[in-house]
Amino acid sequence: MEKLVLIALIGAVTAYEMRTVRQEYAVLIGGATAVLLLAECIVRFTGVAEAFGGICAEYRIPTAMLGSVVKILGIAYLTEFGVNISRDAGQNAVAGTLEIGGRILILSCALPAAVTLLETGASLIREAAP
């Protein structure tokens, strides 16, 4: 965690100081800092993925569901990353459009899980009915 904070502080201070010299360089430094932080977080994500795998194995959840959850998390984080970079660059219209696109992608990935959940609920109701 200390490494993430250190990278963020160095990048933020450097970008802040660079704003007085060249605004474009400040945006590039901010983007590079964000990429470094994202790379560090992805490396640390392997432990989370293993924990999800263990939970799926313990409760006999199909691994396809795990794939959907990981995909949704990835879309959410990458969308937020892109939105923040776009806003830092002053491109609010691009950021807004990216947010909408990310939400649509998340919805499309979550739809099969929602259908499975509804089918499971319906089958349980059918079994309980006399």
For 70-129, the pLDDT digits (tens) are 888 889 988 998 898 888 888 899 999 999 999 999 999 888 888 888 888 888 888 887
For 7-24, the pLDDT digits (tens) are 889 988 998 888 888 888
pLDDT band at 54 (very low <50, low <70, confident <90, very high): confident
Which 3 state secondary structure label does DSSP give 90? coil
**What pLDDT sits at residue 116?**
82
Given a cut of 80, whether residue 47 has pLDDT beyond it is no
What is the percentage of the chain residues whose pLDDT exceeds 90?
A: 19
Indicate the angle between helix axes 92-128 and 63-88, nearest 10 degrees.
160
CA-nearest of 34, 29, 32 to 14 is: 29
pLDDT band at 40 (very low <50, low <70, confident <90, very high): confident
**pTM score > 0.75 for this model?**
no
How is the chain split into domains, by residue range? 1-47, 62-130
**What pLDDT sits at residue 121?**
85
Of residues 5 and 67, more confidently modeled: 5
Query: For residues 36 and 7, is the Cβ–Cβ distance under 8 A?
Result: yes
Query: For residues 45 and 73, is the Cβ–Cβ distance under 8 A?
Result: no
Question: How far does CA 103 lie from the centroid of its chain?
Answer: 11
Query: For residues 40 and 7, is the Cβ–Cβ distance under 8 A?
Result: yes
Annotate 58-73 with DSSP letters as a single string: HHT--HHHHHHHHHHH
The structure tokens listed for 118 are: 């509804």
Query: For residues 102 and 79, is the Cβ–Cβ distance under 8 A?
Result: yes
